[in-house]
Structure 1
């Protein structure tokens, strides 16, 4: 099962947030399962149209996801998925 990991920034909103194994291999389903466990987390990650928010990045292993619109990137059973706040500025 894929392991979902988060940056420490999200802990200020979800203090009990920790890495979790999710049985799904679909990013949308993974986000739905995370929403059941951490109410409101999905709204932090995606907007009203289901697209990845500008201030959020998702990596599957070491690769940044390519499809920020429909989140169709493939997930394998042994993948580590990282959900993190994007950093900007100079």
Structure 2
């Protein structure tokens, strides 16, 4: 099962544990996590279901290509990492 992990800064905003979930695409894996932890969805996806502008989703260390629909394929041993950009000065 793919493993989904979130950055510590995102985990400090809401429950964001490391999860092993079913899924053949990034979207399926993310939605499986959101089913368990619904508050995460609004931090990761916008109201159209696309990855938010200041969020990057990596599959085995490479940023996903399909940010609007998250159709990038995953394997059972895939590691998905969700990172929220930090800004400030």
After superposition, residues 1-80 of structure 1 pair within 5 angstroms as 1-14=1-14, 16-80=15-79
TM-score by length of 2: 0.87
Query: In the aligned structure 2, how far is the partner of 1:17 from the partner of 1:56?
Result: 15
Corresponding residue SS for 1:23: coil
Matches of 1:44 and 1:32, distance apart in 2: 13
Q: Over aligned residue pairs, what C-alpha RMSD do you find?
A: 1.7
The unaligned stretches of length 5 or more in structure 2 are none
1:69 CA displacement: 1.2
- Name the TM-score, length of structure 1 as normaliser: 0.86
Gap regions ≥5 residues in structure 1: none
Q: How many residues align?
A: 89
Q: Give the aligned partner of residue 80 of structure 2.
A: 81
Report if the CA contact (8 A) 2:64-2:72 is conserved. Answer: yes
Contact 1:54/1:86 (8 A) holds in 2: no
Preserved contact between residue 16 and residue 40 of structure 2 (Cα < 8 Å): no
- State the 4+ residue runs in structure 1 displaced beyond 2 angstroms: 86-90
